[in-house]
Amino acid sequence: MTADDALEDALVRTSFRVMAVLTRIGAEHDLSLTQLRLLGLLRDRRPRMTELATFLGLDKSTLSGLVERAERRGLVQRGKSPDDRRVVDVSITEAGSELANLLQAEVRAALTPFTDRLCTDDRRALTHLLDTLSGTATRTSTLPDGPL
């Protein structure tokens, strides 16, 4: 195995570890990973259905069901656009926003045992390396990434 393979394996292993944390915390609030991410995306955006589908990498028909279930729980709401009456804008509700804040705090707390294995300098170095890797540091695309 080359050194690069070792990095790729470490990325995959770490990602599954992080996903396990997100899945558990989501489940504790009756939220799937996708619903968790939906809530995270909506924290600072008010996209239309098609944009949401693109962000999440899902079909628009999937979004219909996803948003429908989140709306039924009072976490998000749909609004017709006045400009183009075909368009449906999705936004987070007050309740959804509060839940999103809580989730973020819980996720951060749950990851602390892992990040605490590194000293301050290493944490800073890792943050910078990950930001470089996933493009946050040099982003030019219009496709945003929320924290969730």
Partner DNA sequence: TATTGTTATACTCTATAACTATA
Partner DNA sequence: TATAGTTATAGAGTATAACAATA
Interacting residue with DNA among 5, 84, 116, 121 (CB under 7 A): 84
Q: How far is the CB of 54 from DNA (least distance, A)?
A: 9
DSSP letter string, 16-53 = HHHHHHHHHHHHHTT--HHHHHHHHHHTT---BHHHHH
User: Where does the chain show beta strands of DSSP type E?
Assistant: 76-80, 88-92
Per CB under 7 A, 143 contacts DNA? no
99 binds DNA (CB under 7 A): no
Kindly report the backbone phi and psi dihedral angles of residue 80, in degrees, each rounded to the nearest multiple of 5, phi listed first: -75, 135
Which residues lie below 8 Å from residue 37, measured CB to CB, with a gap of 6+?
56, 146, 148
Closest CA relative to residue 148, chosen from 13, 11, 31: 31
Site string for a copy of itself, 128-147 (x = CB under 8 A): -xxxxxxxx--------x-x
| Helix H or strand E encompassing 144 | none
The residue range among 17-25, 43-51, 71-79, 85-93 that interacts with a copy of itself, by the rule CB under 8 A, is 17-25
Question: Which of 11-19, 49-57, 110-118, 125-133 is the region at the interface with DNA (rule: CB under 7 A)?
Answer: 49-57
Judged by beta carbon distances under 5 to 8 A according to partner kind, the member of DNA, a copy of itself, none in contact with residue 19 is: a copy of itself
Is residue 69 a contact residue for DNA (CB under 7 A)?
yes
Count, residues near a copy of itself per rule CB under 8 A: 49
